[in-house]
A and B are shown apart, each in its own frame.
Chain A
Amino acid sequence: MDTAGKPAGALEYLTTRKDELVGWARKFSLFPYPFVTACCAMEFMSVSSTLYDTDRFGAALPRFTPRQSDLLMVVGTVTHKQAPILKKVYEQMCEPKWVIAFGVCATSGGFYQNYAALDGIDRVIPVDIYIPGCPPRPETVIDGIMALQDKIARSPHPIVNDRF
């Protein structure tokens, strides 16, 4: 390799796979849409702000329209009355999109096993990551976001593959 005229150790070229490259880029630019319905919101605020700081994972800037976001965070209990709204919000999001069920109510209904509450949002929309806890500790949430990042990095990105 001819390194004349260049500083030693300079990077000349890099090989990678498209899926890995795109996945690496996408996993650090998550735009969450907070679908916040209940008390887990307090924990969501805590994990978003300074001390725990989801910005470190590229997931800091909430978009308050589903059309500009690619990560739907369902935070709190979803009732049957609200399920059509959740489904509409999900359908408005553009591909690629991911869903996090934040807390035990969004995951399974939690202790609300009754006429009013939906027993898990995966009855209505597909879910990528379930974060347990009532409410989940910030560490658990960060663990969930990192698990989602791993999933994004490992998964194929077919839209890009079709085009290039």
Chain B
Amino acid sequence: MDRPPLTVLRERLAADGLEATESLGLLVMELPAPELLATVEGLKSRHGFDLFLDVTAVDWPERQPRFDVVYHFYASREHVRLRLKTTVPGDDPTVDSLTPLYGSAHFMERECHELLGIAFRGNPDLRPILLYEGFTGHPLRKDYAKNHTQPLVRYRR
């Protein structure tokens, strides 16, 4: 009987020196931020993760380092998803941009930069994309007060 592609891919990654665990039908990898670009380059060129699904970040205000940056990739031949986690400190939340590898990373990194304040080194254009002009702060960070609003129209009550 054929072995599940998730296991096959996991063993192939292990042979390449990449340790991945399985969680709810995904492969999960954690790695330090400086290794990110080289690792993803390998995942794309050697292991078939040809689709960039998502980048987001998680804010842990009491933890050092403060942010998790979470990527999702998809191997369209094997139908396997992979989650890649890395951490960045709160005083310098910078990771390498994946725009040299995946064009679709451009807008998603812009969104993550705007909402969570993660800086993507190498992204050519990190202007705000969803919020309106004049909005200050990063609303999805935990220290952005829940009820803090920045209205564009003067309130009548």
Contacts and interface: CB of A to CB of B under 8 A. Distances in A.
Interface of A: 80-81, 83-84, 87, 113-116, 118-119, 122-126
12 contacts: A80-B152, A81-B131, A81-B132, A83-B152, A114-B139, A115-B149, A115-B150, A123-B153, A123-B157, A124-B153, A124-B155, A124-B156
A116 B152 CA distance: 11
A93 to B, nearest CB: 16
Contacts of A84: 152-153
Contacts of B146: 113-114
Contacts of B157: 122-123
A84 B146 CA distance: 22
Is the interface on chain B under 10, 10 to 19, 20 to 34, or 35 or more residues? 10 to 19
A83 B153 CA distance: 7
Chain B CB count within 10 A is highest, among A84, A87, A115, A119, for A115
Give chain A's interface secondary structure class: loop
Interface of chain B: mostly helix, strand, loop or mixed: loop
Interface in B122-157: 131-132, 139, 144, 146-153, 155-157
Contact of B132 (A80, A113, A124, A125): A80
B156 A126 contact: yes
List of 7 A-B pairs having minimum Cβ-Cβ separation, nearest first: A115-B139, A83-B153, A81-B132, A123-B155, A124-B153, A80-B151, A84-B152
B139 A123 contact: no
A45 B155 CA distance: 30
B132 A123 contact: no
Contact of A115 (B144, B152, B153, B155): B144
Contacts of B151: 80, 83, 118, 123
Nearest to B154: A124
Nearest to B145: A115
B108 to A, nearest CB: 18
